[in-house]
Amino acid sequence: MNVKDLYIDYFVKKGHVHIPSAPLVPENDPSVLFNTAGMQPLIPYFMGEEHPCGPRLCDYQKCVRLTDLEEVGDLTHHTFFEMLGNWSLGDYFKEESITYSFEFLTDVLKIPVNRLAVTIFCGNENIPKDTESAEIWQNLGIPKERIAYLGIEDNFWAAGETGPCGPDTEIFYWRSNDSLPEKFDPEDDRWVEIWNNVFMEFNRHSDGTVSKLPKKNVDTGMGYERIVSVIEGVNDNYESSVWRDIIKNLEEISKLPYKGNEKSMRIIVDHIRTSVFIAADNAGIKPSNTDQGYILRRLIRRAIRHAKKLSIEINSNWEEQIALKIIEQYEKYYSELKNNKETILSVLKDEKIKFNKTLEKGLKEFEKIITKNSQIDDLTAFHLYDTYGFPIELTIELAAEQNIKVDEEGFYKRMKEHQEKSRTASAGKFKGGLAGNGEMETKYHTATHLLNAALKEVLGSDTHQKGSNITDERMRFDFNCDHKLTEEEKEQIENLVNQWIQEEIPVTKESMTKEEALKRNAEAMFIEKYPDILTVYFIGNVSKEICGGPHVQNTKELGIFRIKKEEASSAGIRRIKAVLEPTE
């Protein structure tokens, strides 16, 4: 049986509800472009919201991490990965959590105890040493010599600068044929981390102080690829069963062996897999020059460049063959791959055609440039971008191969000057972060429900939310509409929202089945991604929406709603930018 199935089976038997993987592109969370950890979609529940499926949950979550993008090509880095996770929302704590992990690894996966070691938080001035976890591990049979105590950098986990966090205990596995050392040295990289159990009982505030969360929670995460390669005894993740057929397929396409061509082959399959999952997401991401669309573009273009390095005929359907292999392998777990197959294939193909038109010329131009210059200045980098569609990262990568520097900063300056809509995907955004659960974000979250309702009233009941993005300073809301809003329409919408705020309507919620929610006409963006039991938020008779929260308790808390801008977002989709101003 697949490790994913074994994992879910085990935790369901231990009373956990298997929840579906949340979409890759988070809703209402402007701090990240993609989900970067299994716990990310659950942040509101760590903060105290009740989860409709109860306090014990497990899943495998689709994640994309971009911090290591340049590392892809080595043995272990991926942009897309799956995280196996189990959670206790104020239910069990250290004892059960550690026992479950131990039992799953040793009984279900049959990993010998003597190949395991653990790290534990050594404590600091605010939080004591985690002796409780150490005792639990020892009682289970992990000897003292295999327990290491580390500090805040290693054994404390937080999803972002602020929000839920806590000390963790990490489980390591001896992945080497060298003889097993008695003592565990976490610095020795033959010990690889396989699982992280975080005891989330704290909330970090923006001033750096920490307070206790309403309940003690557990958040665990185990990288799927890592555990599979451990069980199968391979050092190269790409040699495990996760990749074997896909790499074989690429060997056939390129008529080249994996050995000797590892780097390009890893980049191609990794990037195509991530692109397949991004394109499959119901958020409808298409290659573009901003945010998630820009990442998708970069990934596809980088894969194409490496395909070219392997002398693959770019105009053949190579990318389709690899994508189909990936879809075939994953569709059992992620139905969106099957449902959106045509979209995925056309996203890849269209972008390929677009890039391939200029790639050859661009590469020639690049060669010319580097014969004449010892570095690539801002203008040249911008020219490669603008005329030949070279993402700056591609220019940098090509230049690095020739030991040439690129004026990256100058490029971004030029980009800003030349583009009205600059690329908003700033570096910080790639690093992972935290869902906005601050006071203002919560207010904006409730305001999006009111705006959604007002749009229906003014523009017609078939107006729906197509996306949203919230910071603590403003909200952005996309919806379907075939025309630019008139001044009158905008005024009506704004007045309606403010009227509802003044009416001081209480915000309430109810858990119900998906069928019940649909029967009661609750607004839903993508019904297929919701679990069978879900939460519906009601704002009097004004709005009912399927949503994870959090929300304010009463509309009177919102202040004054102002539309700042109304513009086109994409074909048939309009975008409103709005703010909430204080009443006084």
320 neighbors 349 (Cβ within 8 angstroms): yes
CB of 224 to ligand SER, least distance (A): 12
Alpha-carbon distance of 101 to 14, in angstroms, equals: 12
Task: Annotate each residue in 207-236 with x if it binds ligand SER (CB under 6 A) or - if it does not, as one string.
Answer: ------------xxx---------------
Q: Which residues contact 342 (CB under 8 A, 6 or more apart)?
A: none
CB of 220 to ligand SER, least distance (A): 5
Binders of ligand SER: how many residues, by CB under 6 A? 10
CB of 88 to ligand SER, least distance (A): 12
Segment 490-497 long-range contacts (CB within 8 Å, at least 24 positions apart) = 490/563, 490/566, 492/454, 492/458, 493/451, 493/454, 493/455, 493/458, 493/563, 493/576, 494/561, 494/562, 494/563, 496/450, 496/453, 496/454, 496/457, 496/458, 497/447, 497/450, 497/451, 497/454, 497/561
CB of 219 to ligand SER, least distance (A): 5
Instruction: Please report, as residue ranges, which positions from 476 to 535 form the binding site for ligand SER (by CB under 6 A).
Output: none
Alpha-carbon distance of 316 to 318, in angstroms, equals: 6
Nearer to ligand SER by Cβ, of 202 and 390: the residue is 202
Q: Quick one: tokens of 126? A: 């605010």
39 near ligand SER, rule: CB under 6 A: yes
Nearer to ligand SER by Cβ, of 67 and 486: the residue is 67
Instruction: Please report, as residue ranges, which positions from 163 to 202 form the binding site for ligand SER (by CB under 6 A).
Output: 196, 198
CB of 171 to ligand SER, least distance (A): 11
Side-chain-side CA neighbours of residue 215 (13 Å) = 19
CB of 85 to ligand SER, least distance (A): 5
Mapping DSSP onto H, E and C, the string for 119-172 reads EEECCCCCCCCCHHHHHHHHHHCCCHHHEEEECCCCCEEECCCCEEEEEEEEEE
Nearer to ligand SER by Cβ, of 37 and 505: the residue is 37
CB of 163 to ligand SER, least distance (A): 12
CB of 195 to ligand SER, least distance (A): 8
CB of 194 to ligand SER, least distance (A): 11
Nearer to ligand SER by Cβ, of 59 and 270: the residue is 59
A 10 A CB-CB count for 57 gives: 22
Q: Compute and round to an integer the Cα radius of gyration of the chain.
A: 25
Nearer to ligand SER by Cβ, of 17 and 345: the residue is 17
Nearer to ligand SER by Cβ, of 194 and 198: the residue is 198
Which amino acid is residue 248, in one-letter code? K
CB of 240 to ligand SER, least distance (A): 20
Q: Which segment (33-41, 73-81, 225-233, 529-537) binds ligand SER by CB under 6 A?
A: 33-41
Q: Which residues contact 9 (CB under 8 A, 6 or more apart)?
A: 1
446 neighbors 552 (Cβ within 8 angstroms): yes
Indicate which single residue of 30, 55, 73, 85 sits in contact with ligand SER (rule: CB under 6 A): 85
Alpha-carbon distance of 507 to 527, in angstroms, equals: 22
Task: Annotate each residue in 360-399 with x if it binds ligand SER (CB under 6 A) or - if it does not, as one string.
Answer: ----------------------------------------
Nearer to ligand SER by Cβ, of 37 and 475: the residue is 37
Nearest partner of 552 among 401, 416, 441, 443, judged by Cα? 443
Q: How far is CA 450 from the centre of its chain?
A: 27
Burial class from Cβ neighbours inside 10 Å (0-12, 13-18, 19+) for residue 489 reads middle
**Position of minimal CB gap to ligand SER:** 221
Nearer to ligand SER by Cβ, of 219 and 545: the residue is 219
Where do we find the tokens 């989860």? 51
Nearer to ligand SER by Cβ, of 30 and 85: the residue is 85
10 neighbors 417 (Cβ within 8 angstroms): no
320 neighbors 341 (Cβ within 8 angstroms): no
Nearer to ligand SER by Cβ, of 169 and 463: the residue is 169
Alpha-carbon distance of 468 to 418, in angstroms, equals: 26
CB of 24 to ligand SER, least distance (A): 15
Nearer to ligand SER by Cβ, of 137 and 366: the residue is 137
136 neighbors 95 (Cβ within 8 angstroms): yes
Q: Which segment (35-43, 122-130, 209-217, 517-525) binds ligand SER by CB under 6 A?
A: 35-43
A 10 A CB-CB count for 70 gives: 13
CB of 36 to ligand SER, least distance (A): 8
Indicate which single residue of 3, 22, 37, 507 sits in contact with ligand SER (rule: CB under 6 A): 37
Q: Which residues bind ligand SER (CB under 6 A)?
A: 37-39, 85, 157, 196, 198, 219-221
